[in-house]
């Protein structure tokens, strides 16, 4: 168990389909102990059974956009753990209207919401929790290929993820002086609560499956394995990186011509209409 003795905080589990849940489950399997957070009373009802399943003794209320609540979590960590070895930041949000239509029509309000919740929150978590992080601690956030390529209906979230990845590099440079590591994990499309807000998401899944080198979509278990590696001492020499777990889709430049000997749709609309 390569995370035995490690203590941490996992932010962003919404339910059993969350990527953060996959990370938490794998971290637990590898011997880690951690606290989890919930947004409000409604989410607390969902998180409590998950915490019990994973043997998590501490769950904290946390609205990632409230500095006072991050500070309260820091105090709770100091009381319950003393110091911790890792933090998982799995939080992102943009208003639904900003995830469809033309990007050029993005409002300033939607842009600010997406950047504050999806990007600055990671910076502020690192900032506020610094006093309770052990030397050698690992911070991990979640990104997506939409940060560097245009993905239909991802829009303002793609810009936010690009800013998040840049933040990872700057945080890595800052915190590396204190022996801490900061990385991002860029997962392929997965059916999660957050993904449900992206238009034509089923088509994104189909396209990724048809065109990734492994010809399959990834699971939260696969993402959890890579996350556990990045959070552990196995990745002690890795920082400032964006690690892809997407069946290799990020390396492709053109749509696949064949899949299992059958022609695969080369145009988005043809995949949408199932006209293979």
- Secondary structure (3-state) at 11: strand
Residue owning tokens 């990370």: 23
Q: Give the distance between the most distant pair of CA atoms in the chain.
A: 59
Q: Per residue in 75-105, is it b (16+ CB within 10 Å) or e — as a string?
A: ebbeeebeebbbbbbbbbbbeeebbeeeeee
d(CA 91, CA 130): 19
CA-based torsion, 54, 56, 9, 198: positive or negative:
positive
Per DSSP, 119 falls in state I
Strand partners of residue 183: 140
Q: Is 144 a catalytic residue?
A: yes
d(CA 30, CA 85): 14
R_g over Cα of the chain: 19
- Round to the nearest angstrom and report the end-to-end CA distance of the chain: 45
The catalytic position among 38, 60, 154, 244 is: 154
The catalytic position among 144, 229, 244, 249 is: 144
Is beta strand 59-61 parallel, antiparallel or unpaired with respect to 33-38? parallel
Q: Is 120 a catalytic residue?
A: no
d(CA 203, CA 273): 10
Residues identified as active-site? 144, 154
């Amino acid at each position: 168990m390569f995370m035995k003795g490690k203590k941490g905080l996992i932010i962003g589990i919404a339910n059993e389909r969350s990527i953060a849940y996959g990370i938490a489950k794998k971290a637990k399997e590898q011997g880690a102990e951690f606290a989890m957070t919930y947004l409000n009373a409604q989410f607390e009802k969902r998180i409590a059974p998950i915490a019990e399943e994973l043997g998590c003794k501490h769950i904290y209320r946390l609205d990632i956009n409230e500095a006072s609540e991050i500070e309260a979590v820091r105090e709770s960590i100091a009381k319950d753990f003393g110091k911790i070895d890792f933090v998982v930041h799995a939080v992102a949000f943009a208003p639904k209207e900003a995830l469809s239509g033309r990007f050029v029509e993005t409002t300033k309000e939607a842009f600010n919401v997406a950047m504050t919740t999806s990007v600055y929150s990671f910076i502020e978590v690192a900032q506020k929790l610094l006093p309770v992080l052990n030397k050698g601690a690992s911070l991990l956030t979640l990104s997506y290929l939409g940060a560097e390529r245009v993905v239909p209906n991802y829009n303002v979230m793609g810009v936010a993820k690009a800013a998040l990845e840049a933040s990872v590099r700057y945080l890595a440079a800052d915190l590396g002086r204190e022996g801490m590591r900061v990385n991002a994990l860029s997962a392929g499309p997965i059916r999660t609560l957050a993904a449900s807000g992206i238009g034509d998401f089923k088509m994104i899944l189909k396209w990724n499956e048809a065109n990734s080198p492994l010809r399959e979509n990834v699971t939260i278990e696969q993402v959890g394995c890579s996350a556990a590696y990045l959070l552990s001492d196995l990745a002690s020499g890795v920082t400032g990186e964006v690690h892809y777990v997407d069946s290799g889709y990020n390396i492709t430049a053109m749509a696949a011509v064949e899949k299992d000997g059958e022609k695969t749709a080369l145009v988005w609309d043809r995949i949408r209409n199932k006209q293979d």
